[in-house]
Structure 1
Amino acid sequence: MTRRTVSAGALVMAAALALAGCGGSDSGESGPELSVGAAYMPQPVSDSMAAGFLVVTNKGGDGDRLTSVTSDVAGEVTLHTTSGQAMSEADGLDVPAGGRLVLESGGDHLMFEKLKRRPKEGDRVSLELHFTKSGPIDVEMPVKSATYRPAASTKSHH
């Protein structure tokens, strides 16, 4: 009988330890911790497409990947990479652990295609970012002048 009590106690202890190990921050590792800033859309010069730029910051200890974007203003939003003068569609963009994904003019960016309406300067465009590991993030992207450029360049932080 004593042996059974010890075994039951050992099982309870093992189960408690196993459950304690399931906690995210207590285990010493953290998943992605994403935030979005510096979002803007230059006022589109076309009736059918527009570009979008933003910065996804990851303060977590695990990387993530931006896999898609949806917006009520466009039939489709695609991810693009730019290398030299060549632009190509991407199936996802990495957000490194402790780093940033910078989407900017002349670099990686969003393309809003099949516009349902042409956003004007001063408008706000709603979009939702979808990631491999993290939940979706809603973003309100202000529409700036067609020639707007952020004050500080983010190119050196790729």
Structure 2
Amino acid sequence: MNHRTTTHRRALAGGAIALAAALTLAGCGGDSDAKESADKPELKVSGAFIPEPTMDDMAAGFLKIDNAGGADKLTSATSDIAGDVTLHSSKDGAMKEQESFTVPAEGQLDFTRGGNHLMFEKLKRKPKQGDKVAVTLHFQKSDPIKVEVPVKEATHNPEQQGESAHGSHKSH
């Protein structure tokens, strides 16, 4: 055998080994695909509302995100009514802007009065009771979710008014 034939056979043998390895890994891929789909977030937004703001330049928003799948993160929100929409937490009466919020696997993320909330800043127009405000929620893994958020009376609080914050969903 000459050098060219030997090199060609080695290349073919190397290619066959690489193909066999790729096919073996592809066979294992089904398991990782099943795991990925089990880890995939399944998000649903409910109970969203904005109390009619008392200020002309800012408003707060509240909602619940249920997750029937793997964990995700709410990374931002946008709305055509506001120059900025920021994520905030409130603890012990102190409000603090957050970079993101975890939406736990098989759990929920609640935005409630006195707790986590959206801040609509630099309002382009002041929403009135009865209006609907378009809001888009952006996540680390999931596609954005668009929500039409109703504007309620300034004092609206579902938990104080006997409405369940969890609706008909199971509490985790």
2:53 paired with 1:44: yes
When normalised by structure 2's length, the TM-score is 0.78
Stretches (4+) displaced over 4 A: 6-13
User: What RMSD over aligned residues (CA atoms) do the two structures have, in Å?
Assistant: 2.5
By percentage of residues, which structure has more helix?
2
2:88 maps to which of 77, 80, 87? 80
Cα deviations by residue, 1:97-153 (Å, 9 ceiling, x for unpaired): 011000011111000000000111110000100111111110110000011111225
Q: State the identity as a percent.
A: 48
Distance, in Å, in 2 between the alignment partners of 1:27 and 1:52 is 32
Structure 1 unaligned blocks of 5 or more: none
How far 1:11 moved relative to its partner?
A: 5.5
Residue 29 of structure 1 aligns to a residue whose secondary structure is helix
Q: Map 1:6-155; keep pairs closer than 5 Å.
A: 10=20, 13-14=23-24, 16-21=26-31, 23=33, 25=34, 29-60=38-69, 62-150=70-158, 151-153=163-165
Larger radius of gyration: 2
Count of residue correspondences = 151
User: What one-letter code is carried by the residue in structure 1 that aligns with 2:47?
Assistant: A
When normalised by structure 1's length, the TM-score is: 0.84
Question: What are the superposed Cα offsets for residues 18-52 of structure 1, whole Å, 9 maximum, x if unpaired?
Answer: 443453x4667331111111000001111000000
